[in-house]
Amino acid sequence: MKRIAVVGASLAGVRAAQELRAQGYDGGIVLIGEEAHLPYDRPPLSKAFLAGTAARESLELLGAGDLASLALDFRLGVRATALDPSNRRVPLSDGGSVHADGVVIATGGRARTLPGFEGAHTLRTVDDALALRAALVPGVRVAVVGAGFIGAEVASTCRSLGLDVVVLEALPLPLASVLGSELAAVCARLHLDHGTDLRCGVRVSHCSAAGVHLADGSLVPADVVVTGVGMTPETGWLADSGLRVGNGVHTDAGLVTELPQVVAIGDVAHYHVDGAGRRHEHWTNASEQAPVAVANLLAGRTSRTYTPSGYVWSDQYAGTLQLAGHPRPDDALSFVDGDPSSSSFVATWQRDGSTVGVFALNNAKLFNRLRRQALRRPAVV
């Protein structure tokens, strides 16, 4: 292949470019990114960067040395508007196009929005984070809609800034669908222990300058409203490509699409194993998929398949939560160190006599040991 286009200049796109070079590819790599910025890291956007304790430079995914050694042809501030496989072309929003023998789709997703919440903040990009940070002036009351990972981290950061925060969550407990009710109760406790007004089982209607209006007609007063209700995979540009899209770009177990010269990785990749489709929205997944997708792209066929580690971390208040594996709600949870009322514990999920997931609050050492020992062959849902 003489030239490979990587569409999406964020974590997955960067990891793909790095892997291409690491696996000996010395042709051209064009990195196309809709955002005008050089690739940057997103996790700090809801944590230290939002709090104002991490500098903008610390977000950069590529240092000067990487930029020189990777020899990337950047096209930043332009969107890929389509994929034209028969002519091996990626048309761009500036009227130009990139001719490429291979394509890595790494377009991630955009923050989901809620109807009626047009004036609210969302948090996906560094520009979103800067806008939210500017609004978090002393004395403002913040309402966060959604107590998932990002909503919880925003609430936590706002509390660290001394702001009054209310979190409005539709589920009976935060993150219950991911962690199950016992660990979800721990997440709820973190909010309450740190002075956040967590309200679960709440249906929101819309927001206005007065705050968030609930479906029962009541008002939750707020000066700043943030919605953290998930993301939507960025696939619109592929509508006429002939590729199968729908909740992401569909691939086989090796992240290869119907076209052997087109692979997808990161938050946008919807890969299939044994007929079941999966998509992950976590940092480690984007990194771990790159070597597999790139190997298959360069081989021109699926020679490797992807096995997810299912690793996720989240920093909330004084706690670091870590999860690995793929537990299901009906798996048996047991506490192997500490208990759910303590500030540090480790729990595992068992299924058919095997450990299928590990969770820790503030115990990275034991978490990592168990993760290595017990999840050598990560189980998949």
Ligand X SMILES: Cc1cc2nc3c(=O)[nH]c(=O)nc-3n(C[C@H](O)[C@H](O)[C@H](O)COP(=O)(O)OP(=O)(O)OC[C@H]3O[C@@H](n4cnc5c(N)ncnc54)[C@H](O)[C@@H]3O)c2cc1C
- Residue among 234 and 331 whose Cβ is closer to ligand X: 234
- Residue among 79 and 159 whose Cβ is closer to ligand X: 79
Helix (H, G, I), strand (E, B) or coil at 357: strand
DSSP state of 160: H
Distances (CA, A) of 153 to 49, 201, 242: 12, 19, 38
Establish if 10 lies at the interface with ligand X (CB under 6 A): yes
Bridge partners (DSSP) of residue 314 are: 321
Establish if 326 lies at the interface with ligand X (CB under 6 A): no
**Options 1-9, 138-146, 160-168, 299-307: segment touching ligand X (CB under 6 A):** 1-9
Establish if 121 lies at the interface with ligand X (CB under 6 A): no
Establish if 279 lies at the interface with ligand X (CB under 6 A): no
User: How many other C-beta atoms can be found within 10 angstroms of the C-beta atom of residue 369?
Assistant: 13
176, 179, 222, 286: which one binds ligand X (CB under 6 A): 286
Report the distance separating Cα 340 and Cα 186, nearest Å.
6
Q: Find where tokens 């066929």 sit.
A: 301
Burial zone of 276 (CB within 10 Å; 0-12 exposed, 13-18 middle, 19+ buried): exposed
- Residue among 103 and 222 whose Cβ is closer to ligand X: 103
Establish if 321 lies at the interface with ligand X (CB under 6 A): no
Establish if 267 lies at the interface with ligand X (CB under 6 A): yes
- Residue among 226 and 347 whose Cβ is closer to ligand X: 226
23, 25, 35, 200: which one binds ligand X (CB under 6 A): 35
Minimum distance from residue 209 beta carbon to ligand X (Å): 25
Report the distance separating Cα 63 and Cα 84, nearest Å.
33
- CA angle at residue 72 from 67 to 78, to 5 degrees? 110
- Residue among 259 and 341 whose Cβ is closer to ligand X: 259
Establish if 283 lies at the interface with ligand X (CB under 6 A): yes
Positive or negative, the CA dihedral 209, 210, 212, 216 is negative
- Residue among 107 and 302 whose Cβ is closer to ligand X: 107
Minimum distance from residue 13 beta carbon to ligand X (Å): 6
Report the distance separating Cα 260 and Cα 352, nearest Å.
37
Minimum distance from residue 134 beta carbon to ligand X (Å): 16
- Residue among 45 and 188 whose Cβ is closer to ligand X: 45
Tell me if 7 sits within 8 A of 89, measured CB to CB.
no
Tell me if 90 sits within 8 A of 83, measured CB to CB.
yes
* H helix or E strand, kind and range, residue 278: strand 276-278
- Residue among 150 and 333 whose Cβ is closer to ligand X: 150
- Residue among 114 and 214 whose Cβ is closer to ligand X: 114
Establish if 289 lies at the interface with ligand X (CB under 6 A): no
6, 31, 34, 249: which one binds ligand X (CB under 6 A): 34
Report the distance separating Cα 103 and Cα 150, nearest Å.
30
- Residue among 132 and 346 whose Cβ is closer to ligand X: 132
Establish if 294 lies at the interface with ligand X (CB under 6 A): no
Report the distance separating Cα 264 and Cα 13, nearest Å.
10
> Would you state the structure tokens that stand for residue 278, as one six-digit string?
């999966």
Report the distance separating Cα 66 and Cα 239, nearest Å.
34
Among positions 300-319, residues that touch ligand X (CB under 6 A) are 312-314
121, 282, 326, 371: which one binds ligand X (CB under 6 A): 282
Minimum distance from residue 353 beta carbon to ligand X (Å): 29
Q: Build a one-symbol-per-residue string for 222-251: x at contacts with ligand X by CB under 6 A, - elsewhere.
A: ------------x--x--------------
Q: Build a one-symbol-per-residue string for 93-112: x at contacts with ligand X by CB under 6 A, - elsewhere.
A: -------------xxxx---
Q: Which amino acid is at 195?
A: G
> Would you state the structure tokens that stand for residue 179, as one six-digit string?
């962690």
Establish if 146 lies at the interface with ligand X (CB under 6 A): no
Report the distance separating Cα 5 and Cα 88, nearest Å.
10
The DSSP line for 27-51 is: SEEEEEESSSSPPB-SGGGGTHHHH
The site for ligand X (CB under 6 A) is made up of 7-13, 32-35, 42-43, 45-46, 79-80, 106-109, 123-124, 150, 234, 237, 266-268, 281-284, 286, 312-314
